């Protein structure tokens, strides 16, 4: 991929990417995704100058390479300041303008938004006034997350007293106020899409929604990449994994990776596992991640689950490859990294048929299982054959690995072919 220099001053193409989430080691998949893209950009030398903007406690610049850096800016009004606004997706900035960010914008040729919070408001206003090219990408199902977290906030505000239960029913069941929040979030997102010169998406339903009010030529597709060395069956060390976390020997390990909250449908996984345990199946559940529903998962599964919290990236590949089965009922992703990582590591996956992770499965039942149901009993029936038959697990995992190796790009390929090309288009 050749980057044409800016015709006015011969500088490298300067791009700002705006991720209005906190940057820290425990950050979620959205942040981790852009960290991988940033690593891919370091190979472009003097042809691209890339700055990724994150929230941070103090203003700071973190150099990644000579041409790539992270810039951390304190929020104007963080959701962390109000307990009721905290949720599993990470703290963001709900201010309508970020004054310090504005001082950095003049240097960039292309602007890339990844959400709809204070950074995005500031950049959209700047681009409109100065006629600068604007790109947006959809990384999560924002209306679905709004519905999930608004419900969580209302329940937390109401409390568990009898009066609290009454107010929960009043707001959620009678007034259905979370539907109003979803409508507002959808309209807000639509406004940002209309303002963008290019929009990058990962799932068909976003394309169908966008083309209902926008020309299709402004819409492009982007993929997540995979680190083929880190997520590989060669990383398998089952005895080391069991010793590391005190897991029981010999029984199959059922793995979940992600936020342990409603946005990932983690209780559906736990309830399905409970059904299987009650039927006499022997296995152990391993949960890598943190979240508001951790105690509920423990209450549901008791001694049959181990929650290990946040896991460093350099250990995650070993955990995937050393487990026996990956179960992930989430419906909120537009392109779930964890599904690709599990398949690349040689794990059979059981995932939601309502989520775009199902697109990675070539033949349902052969290289993975997609469950088009939200009932624990149906998930239990889908998981049971894999628990009973080690050969079936192994064959499915091997096929998933082979398909992933052939079809999933590296982060360098995904960045160059799907993102960098779009930046160049709007710059030209």
Question: What value does the mean pLDDT take over residues 290-310?
Answer: 95
Task: Give the total number of structural domains in the chain.
Answer: 2
When mean pLDDT is compared across 74-83, 137-146, 174-183, 312-321, the lowest value belongs to 174-183
- The answer to whether residues 247 and 179 belong to one domain is no
Evaluate whether residue 377 is within a structural domain.
Answer: yes
Adjacent-strand bridge partners of 371: 352
- The answer to whether residues 167 and 78 belong to one domain is yes
- The answer to whether residues 279 and 148 belong to one domain is no
Evaluate whether residue 57 is within a structural domain.
Answer: yes
Nearest to 137 by CA among 52, 238, 50, 206: 206
Q: Return the ∠ at Cα 248 (arms to 244 and 251), rounded to 5°.
A: 125
Evaluate whether residue 3 is within a structural domain.
Answer: no
Evaluate whether residue 91 is within a structural domain.
Answer: yes
Give the pLDDT confidence of 21-44 residue by residue, as tens digits: 999 888 888 899 999 999 999 999
- The answer to whether residues 19 and 89 belong to one domain is yes
* Reduced 3-state DSSP string for the chain: CCCCCCCCCCCCEEEEEEEEEECCCCCCHHHHHHHHHHHHHHHHHHHEEEEEEEECCCCEEEEEECCEEEEEECCCCEHHHCHHHCCCCCCCECCCCCHHHHCCHHHCCEEEECCCCHHHHHHHHHHHHHCCCEEEECCECHHHHHHHHHHHHHHHHHCCCHHHHHHHHHHHHHCCHHHHHHHHHHHHHHHHHHCCCEEEECCHHHHHHHCCCCCHHHEEECCCCCCCCCCCHHHCCHHHHHHHHCCCCCCCEEEEECCCCHHHCHHHHHHHHHHHHHCCCCCEEEEEECCCCHHHHHHHHHHHEEEEECCCHHHHHHHHHHCCEEEECCCCECCCHHHHHHHHCCCCEEEECCCHHHHHCCCCCCCCEEECCCCHHHHHHHHHHHHHCHHHHHHHHHHHHHHHHHHCCCHHHHHHHHHHHHHHHHHC
Give the pLDDT confidence of 52-61 residue by residue, as tens digits: 999 999 999 9
Average per-residue pLDDT for the chain: 90
Evaluate whether residue 5 is within a structural domain.
Answer: no
Specify the pLDDT at position 293: 92
- The answer to whether residues 259 and 148 belong to one domain is no
Structure confidence at residue 298 as a pLDDT band (50, 70, 90):
very high
Instruction: Quote the distance between the C-alpha of residue 416 and its chain's center.
Output: 20
- The answer to whether residues 307 and 244 belong to one domain is yes
- The answer to whether residues 262 and 321 belong to one domain is yes
pLDDT reading at 356 higher than 80 = no
- The answer to whether residues 30 and 145 belong to one domain is yes
- The answer to whether residues 298 and 344 belong to one domain is yes
- The answer to whether residues 45 and 168 belong to one domain is yes
Evaluate whether residue 7 is within a structural domain.
Answer: no
Give burial (CB, 10 Å; 0-12/13-18/19+) of 174. exposed
Question: Domain span at residue 260?
Answer: 233-407
Evaluate whether residue 2 is within a structural domain.
Answer: no
* Reported pTM: 0.87
pLDDT reading at 4 higher than 50 = no
Evaluate whether residue 196 is within a structural domain.
Answer: yes
- The answer to whether residues 165 and 254 belong to one domain is no
- The answer to whether residues 173 and 288 belong to one domain is no
Residue 41 maps to which CATH number?
A: 3.40.50.2000
């Amino acid at each position: 991929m050749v980057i044409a220099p800016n015709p006015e001053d011969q500088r490298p193409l300067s791009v700002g990417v705006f991720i209005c989430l906190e940057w820290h080691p425990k950050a979620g998949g959205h942040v981790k995704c852009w960290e991988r893209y940033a690593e891919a950009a370091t190979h472009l030398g003097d042809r691209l100058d890339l700055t990724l903007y994150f929230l941070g406690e103090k203003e700071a610049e973190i150099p990644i390479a000579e041409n790539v850096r992270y810039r951390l800016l304190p929020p104007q009004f963080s959701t962390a300041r109000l307990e009721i606004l905290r949720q599993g997706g990470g703290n963001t900035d709900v201010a309508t303008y970020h004054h310090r960010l504005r001082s950095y914008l003049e240097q960039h040729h292309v602007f890339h938004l990844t959400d709809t919070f204070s950074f995005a408001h500031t950049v959209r206003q700047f681009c409109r006034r100065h006629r600068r090219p604007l790109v947006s990408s959809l990384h999560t199902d924002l209306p679905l997350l709004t519905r999930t977290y608004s419900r969580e906030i209302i329940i937390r505000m109401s409390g568990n007293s009898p009066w609290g239960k009454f107010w929960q029913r009043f707001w959620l069941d009678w007034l259905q106020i979370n539907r109003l929040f979803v409508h507002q979030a959808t309209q807000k997102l639509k406004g940002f899409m209309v303002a963008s010169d290019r929009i990058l998406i990962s799932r068909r339903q976003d394309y169908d929604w966008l083309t209902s009010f926008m020309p299709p030529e402004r819409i492009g597709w982007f993929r997540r990449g995979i680190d083929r060395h880190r997520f590989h069956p060669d990383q398998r060390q089952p005895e080391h994994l069991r010793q590391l976390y005190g897991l029981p020997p010999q029984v199959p390990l059922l793995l979940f990776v992600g936020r342990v909250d409603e946005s990932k449908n983690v209780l559906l996984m736990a309830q399905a596992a409970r059904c299987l345990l009650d039927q006499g199946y022997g296995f152990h559940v391993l949960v890598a991640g943190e979240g508001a529903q951790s105690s509920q998962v423990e209450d549901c599964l008791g001694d049959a689950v181990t929650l290990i919290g946040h896991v460093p990236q350099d250990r995650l590949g070993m955990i995937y490859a050393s487990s026996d089965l990956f179960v992930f009922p989430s419906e909120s992703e537009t392109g779930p990294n964890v599904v690709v990582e599990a398949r690349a590591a040689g794990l059979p996956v059981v995932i939601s048929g309502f989520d775009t992770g199902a697109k990675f499965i070539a033949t349902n039942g052969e290289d993975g299982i997609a469950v088009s149901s939200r009932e624990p009993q149906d998930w239990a029936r889908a998981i049971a054959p894999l628990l009973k038959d080690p050969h079936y697990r192994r064959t499915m995992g091997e096929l998933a690995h082979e398909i992933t190796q052939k079809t999933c790009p590296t982060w360098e390929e995904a960045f160059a072919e799907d993102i960098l090309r779009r930046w160049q288009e709007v710059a030209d």
